Amino acid sequence: MIRPLALLALAGFVAGCGDTATPTEAGAPASASASASASASAPTAPTVDRTAALTALPAPYNEADLDNGRRVFARCRSCHTLPEGGSNMTGPNLYGVFGRRAGAQPGYRYSDALKAAGFTWDGEHLDQWLESPRTYLVGTKMSFAGIPDPTDRRDVIAYIKVETGYEPPARP
């Protein structure tokens, strides 16, 4: 039998899962305190013309559904942040991930397997990674089961590119 206090604690944990807001101050309404805290500490996301950013992406990402990518990224949000200057959580902040060597986000403690992976993140590597991180790179500490649907992976990669300020390399 679950004790009422344990049940209450479990309900609070589930309700706050993925929530990075700080606890409310004594006597302050939760919404006011959370809003003030979020606006004081959260990096400001730049205004992005998402349609233009999407069409500038290389194929197949320029044909992605950003709304679906946002929904798919909800699975990632409890461990990863996207804005520039965003915090590392269970997983690293993903701003600037494209073009960065795997296992090289400053301030994040990677598994030995990822530090030694020897590749640079691009859409193709991230697609293979997201399909099944544990089989793509044996020894990773990422416990995420993966995203089996290729369309969902394409959409979430495009979403991450748009939200993290990715700029395609200049054409010769």
| pLDDT computed for residue 26 by the predictor | 35
Structure confidence at residue 96 as a pLDDT band (50, 70, 90): very high
Please say if the pLDDT value at position 119 is more than 50: yes
| pLDDT computed for residue 101 by the predictor | 96
Helical spans, DSSP H, in 2-80? 4-16, 30-41, 50-55, 66-73
Structure confidence at residue 110 as a pLDDT band (50, 70, 90): very high
Write out pLDDT tens, residues 125-142: 999 999 999 999 999 999
Please say if the pLDDT value at position 157 is more than 50: yes
Write out pLDDT tens, residues 46-91: 556 889 999 999 999 999 999 999 999 999 999 999 999 999 999 9
- CA-to-CA distance for 30 and 85, rounded, in angstroms? 25
| pLDDT computed for residue 30 by the predictor | 38
Please say if the pLDDT value at position 18 is more than 60: no
Tracing tokens 């010769």 back to the chain, one arrives at 172
Superfamily of domain 50-163: Cytochrome c-like domain (1.10.760.10)
Other CB atoms within 10 A of residue 114 CB: 20
Peptide bond into 169 cis (omega under 30): no
pLDDT, the chain, mean: 79
Please say if the pLDDT value at position 13 is more than 50: no
Q: Taking the domains of the chain in order of start, what are their residue ranges?
A: 50-163
How far apart, in Å, are the Cα atoms of 136 and each of 91, 103, 114, 141? 17, 14, 11, 12
- CA-to-CA distance for 57 and 112, rounded, in angstroms? 32
Average confidence (pLDDT) over 33-56: 58
Highest mean pLDDT: which range of 6-10, 38-42, 128-132: 128-132
